[in-house]
Structures are given as structure tokens and as C-alpha cells.
A and B are shown apart, each in its own frame.
Chain A
Amino acid sequence: MNVRRSRAPRAVAVVGLAGVLVAMPWIHATIPGVFSSSLNSPGTLNLLALCFVFGGLALTYDLLFGFTGLLSFGHALYFATGVYTTAIALSRWHWTLWHALLLTAAVSVLLPLALGAICLRTRGIPFAMVTLAFAQAGSILVMQNPFGLTGGEEGLALGADALPAPLVGVVNTHNLYWVALAFLAFTYAVGWWVVHSPPGRVWQAIRENEGRVEVLGLNPYRYKLLAFVVSSLLASAAGVVYLLLQGGANPEVTTASFTLALLVMVVLGGVGTLWGAVLGGIIYQYLDFRLVALAGAPALQGLPSVLRLPLSEPLFILGALFVALVLFFPGGLGGVAKRA
């Protein structure tokens, strides 16, 4: 009974939060210090939408790292697969959005299936290094601009006619915001369902003790491959939404630093909890955006250079924060909340 009673207010809170998030484009209010313009301004909506995409992306990484215990350093590759496959189909081959999405879905299943089958022959830290190597190969490929497809360092901008009209332009930012919100809700629902499904339970068993799973007569390799493909496919979906939001692809998303950022997000929020990962992704993206603003803030200019230099580097602050979290709060924000 107690459990039920405590759940009711939580459900109300969740529904309320969801309602506010959905209604955000109509809320003309300002939160000084948090957002630089009103809540329904395109700038704020775009920032929030990016936060949602990274929240969902962090969740997909958590499925792999937090729930199955697979430390991959190549998750950026699958996000980039979503970004670049869709971008190439749309702007180079002038496919319609639906055809491009079909192609992206196919590639996003086959690529992790093939690469995962190879990478999962190793385990532990060697697995991390092999996934890193494959992601690096992907990054090199994008940078080399094969057949003029990827645009190399320049990236690949989507033309105005590449997308359906409701998804184009600053006046339609609210539509993209809803797409990002829907993506996050969908990913969360799939994530929740999958970690509570029988294979999801086996994933968590593998994380705890792989040898024992094997002794029980299950083949860990298959379950790990399933986790790898599911999480990569969802990451590609995040890539598609990111592409729509940014209106183009940039090679930054293929780099190892991008995967490391994902790792920071998940550890920040709490490894092995769905909402923790989402929160970590949202906070990371928000900080990354706002710390750049902090770097130019007048308050900083008065400080001696010993203090000003580190504080004006967002990555330094995030990196140092990350080290402190790992050393002192291994559970991340989720762990802190649980302890409190």
C-alpha cells in the first residue's frame, strides 16, 4: 500500500512536467540567468531540443555501458551514421525524407551488427579500444570526403528544399522542438521496456557476472550483440533528429571526443539508471552551451589570469567536474539523489 501511495504524487509530477514540456512553445515567460531569452523564443527552444537529443543519446549509451557493462569508445560512429546517411540521401541524392529514413534505418541495423560481431570477440578494456579504432576509421572516412559525399571538414548542409516545409526555418523551431521531445519520450519508453524485458535482464546479469550467465546455459555473445545493435540503432535515431535540428552534418560528431562527451554525460547523471543518463545528457549539453557564454562574461574579465584561463574553457570545467565526480561521487547525480 505504501508503495502505491508514494507513486501517485510522482505520477502527477511526471504528467505535469510532460504537460509543461509539450506546452513550452506557448509559454511566453523568462527565467533570468537560466535562459537568455523567453521560453518560447526559437533560441531557447532550439537549446532545449538539443538537450533532449543528447538526453536520449546518453540513454542509448547507458544501455550499453550502464546496463550491459560494455564500455564502448565508438558510440559516436552510430550517432554519426544516423546524421550522415540521412544527410547524404537528402542532399546528395535528393531522396524524400521517408526514403532517406528507411535507408538510414537499414544501415543503422547492419553496420552495428557487422562491427559489433567483430568487436565483441574481445571484452573489457580491449573492447573499448577496438570500438575506438572502428569509430576512428569512420571519422577518417567522413573527413576524406569519398566521392564528394560527406563534404569532409566542411560538413554537409541540408538545402531548404531537402526537408518538408514544416521542419524548415526559424519560425518552425517549435515543430523541431516537438520532434526532439517525441524522440526523447520514445527512446525513454523503448529503453524502459527493453531493460525490463527478458533480454534486458540478461544484459544486467552479464554486467554483474558474465561467467555465471554462461554457466546458466545462455550465450552472452548474442545478448551483448543485441544490446550493441539496439543501442546503436537508437543512437542513429538521435543522429537523425540532431541533423534536423542543426540543418546539416558536421564531422565533429564522428570524433572520439564526441564519444568521450557521451561517457561524461552518463557518468555525470549516474551509470545504470535511465533517468540519470537523460538528466546527465541534458545538463551536459546545457552547461556546454552556457559555459561558452560564461567565458565571455564581464565578471570573468576582472579575475587574474590564473583563474580566468581555466574558467573560460568549457571543456576544462567539464573535465575537472568529471574527474571529481568519478573520485568522490561514483554514482553520479543519480547516486547522490539515492543517498539523500
Chain B
Amino acid sequence: MATVVLLTVTGLGLGALYFLIASGLSLIWGLMRVLNFAHGAFFTIASYAAWTAGEALAGIPSLPLRWLAGLVAGVVAGALVAALTEVVLIRPLYRQQIGQVLVTVGLALAAVALVEGGFGSDPKQLALPAWMTATTTILGASIPNTRVLVIVVALAVLGVLLLFLQHTRYGLIVRAGVENRAMVSALGIDVERAFTLVFAIGGAAAGLAGVLGGAYYGTIDPVRGTALLIFAFIVVMIGGLGSITGSAIAAAVVGLLQQFLNFYAATGSGDFAVVLLLAGVLLVRPGGVAGSIT
């Protein structure tokens, strides 16, 4: 029983990280039809921004404060780099879908190489508050607190994103843009600003994942973002491109499937099963489980 609880929480925690990356990918795709390969780079840049901030504030004795400063630095860095990417690299290639994918590929290669050059390829430790390294006993299982933290944050982000999409003016523009971008711009609404906004939101979520990933795994390294990105792509495909709720459900399913199979069957079989699941979903429903943005 304890094992099952532990695996469930760990799987959901992994799913939470996937969701934080996938939600941005899904929104960006839904509105702009851009497949953002640089999303993993946002994750990596944010985690190193958090580490740098933590090191810069080494004089402050309070670990939670330092960690929070790192969190803010990571999220801001993610949002800024993402917004900059949209304005400088994506916008000049408006309506050239392949070209847009290609620049994000180039950016991803260059950014990860730069981080590797600047910080080295060895894993680094983020300074974590004491309660994050502790465990809590739930139903007889000792659960690392970071797992719970990641899940709670991801649920909060899901709630905020849904509120934003359904109850704000910009959310309305984004939803309308996903349905019919040409019509929205024909109505005289500045869709380009919505593009930058969606990139910034996606970058902030990926940045959040970058900092929380440092807590979840205990260390940060330059290539984890890229590795997670591939599974985030799979999550987005299974959940349905452009659907936030679809991504959330798919992220949970993928995270759980991976953890349980990797534990009970051979290591790596979970990762393999996820790809098979994707193939199965595509055979039955080529558009993913959910269709539109909700």
C-alpha cells in the first residue's frame, strides 16, 4: 500500500512538471501554431537563473527566503526570455510555420550550449529550505514534501490559467484567436500583443517548472529541460493540441503510467509505454483526446 501511495504521488508530481511545461506549449500552439522547441531551454535558463540568484544572496541566512528569491528570478527569467523570443525570433517569421519551428530549434541548441559553457555540464544543487528536504507520512508512506509542492503549484497554475482564459479580456482574445485568428485581427484587435503575452505566460510556467524541477530532482543540469520537453510534447499530443484541461489530464496519466511501469515492470518500460499510448491515441483519434481550448 505504502509503495502504491508513494508511486502515485511521485507520478503525479512528475505529471505536474509535465503539465507546467505542456500548458505553455499547448497555449502557444493553440493560438499561434508554433511548435516551440525552445521551451525546454526556458526551463533550463530559469533553473540556472534561480541558482544564480540563490548564490548571489548567499549572505542571507534564511533558506526559504533565498529559495523564494530564486523562484521569482526563475519565473521572471522564463517569462522575459520567452517574450523576447517571440518578439525577436518568431515575429519576423510570421506565417512561416516551418521557419518558426526552425528558429526555436536553433535557439534551443544555442541556449543549452551557452548554459553548458557558462555553468559546466555537471549537476548543481539548489539551496532548499529544510521542510522541502523532509518527508510527510501520508497513508503510511513517507512522501517527500517536494512532490506535494509540485502538485499543489501545478493545480494552482491550472486554476489560474482557466480563470484567465475564461474571465479576462485577454483570455477571451486568446480563446477567440485559437478559434479563428484571422477574424480576431479583422475585428481590429491587436493579436500580436496576445502572442507576446501567451509566450510570456508559457515561459513563466516553464520557468516555474525549472525551479520546481530543481527541488523535485534535487539538482539542476543543462539537459534536463530538453529531456522533459519530449515528454511534454507527448502530453500535449495525447491531451489534444490547444486544450489546457486535456494537457492536465494527459500529464497526470503519463506521469502515473511512467512511474508505475518503471517500478513494477523493467526500468524504462514506463517511458516506452507512454510512446505506445501516444501511438494508440493517434490511431483512434488523430487530434488527441480533447479537441479545442477549454
CB distance from A72 to the nearest CB of B (A): 12
Decide yes or no whether B31 CB sits under 8 A from chain A: no
* Residues of chain A lying within 8 A (CB to CB) of residue B116: 313
> Is B234 an interface residue, CB under 8 A from the partner?
yes
Complex Cα distance, B106 from A326, in Å, reads: 9
List residues of chain A with CB within 8 A of the CB of B117: 309-310, 312-313, 316
Indicate whether A326 sits within 8 Å of B99 (C-beta atoms), given known contacts A122-B282, A313-B114: yes
**Residue A107 interfacial (CB < 8 Å):** no
A245 contacts B by Cβ under 8 Å: no
For A320, give its contact among B35, B99, B106, B283 (CB under 8 Å). Answer: B106
Complex Cα–Cα for A232 and B35 (A): 24
Stretch at the interface among A27-35, A138-146, A173-181: A138-146
Chain B minimum-CB-distance residue to A145: B268
Chain B interface: which of A53-61, A89-97, A124-132?
A124-132
In the bound assembly, the distance between CA atoms of A254 and B108 in angstroms comes to: 18
Contacts of A122 on B, CB cut-off 8 Å?
282, 286
User: What residues of B have a CB within 8 angstroms of the CB of A160 in the complex?
Assistant: none
| Known A-B contacts A144-B267, A264-B109, A316-B117; A326 and B102 likewise in contact (beta carbons under 8 Å) | yes
Evaluate contact between B102 and A128: CB separation under 8 angstroms: no
Q: Does B176 contact A (CB under 8 A)?
A: no
Within 8 A of A (CB), among B96-154: 96-99, 101-103, 105-114, 116-118
The interface size of chain B toward A, counting residues with CB under 8 Å, comes to: 46
Residue of A nearest to B110 (CB): A319
A194 within 8 A of B: no
The one of B35, B266, B267, B275 that contacts A137, using a Cβ cutoff of 8 Å: B275
Given contacts A125-B35, A133-B234, A316-B110, contact A256 B275 (CB under 8 A): no
For residue B189, CB closer than 8 A to chain A, the reply is no
B92, B282, B283 pick with most chain A CB within 10 angstroms: B282
Q: A125-B35, A129-B236 are in contact. List 6 more A-B contacts (CB 8 A).
A: A118-B282, A133-B275, A260-B109, A313-B117, A323-B89, A326-B103
Q: List 30 A-B contacts (CB under 8 A).
A: A121-B282, A121-B286, A124-B97, A126-B237, A126-B286, A133-B237, A136-B271, A136-B275, A137-B271, A137-B272, A140-B272, A141-B272, A144-B266, A256-B226, A257-B109, A257-B226, A260-B108, A310-B114, A314-B113, A315-B109, A315-B113, A316-B117, A319-B113, A320-B110, A326-B99, A326-B102, A326-B103, A326-B106, A327-B92, A327-B103
4 closest cross-chain pairs (CB), A and B: A319-B110, A319-B109, A315-B113, A322-B106
Interface residues of B (CB under 8 A from A): 29, 33, 35, 37, 89, 92-93, 96-99, 101-103, 105-114, 116-118, 226, 230, 233-234, 236-237, 241, 266-268, 271-272, 275-276, 278-279, 282-283, 286
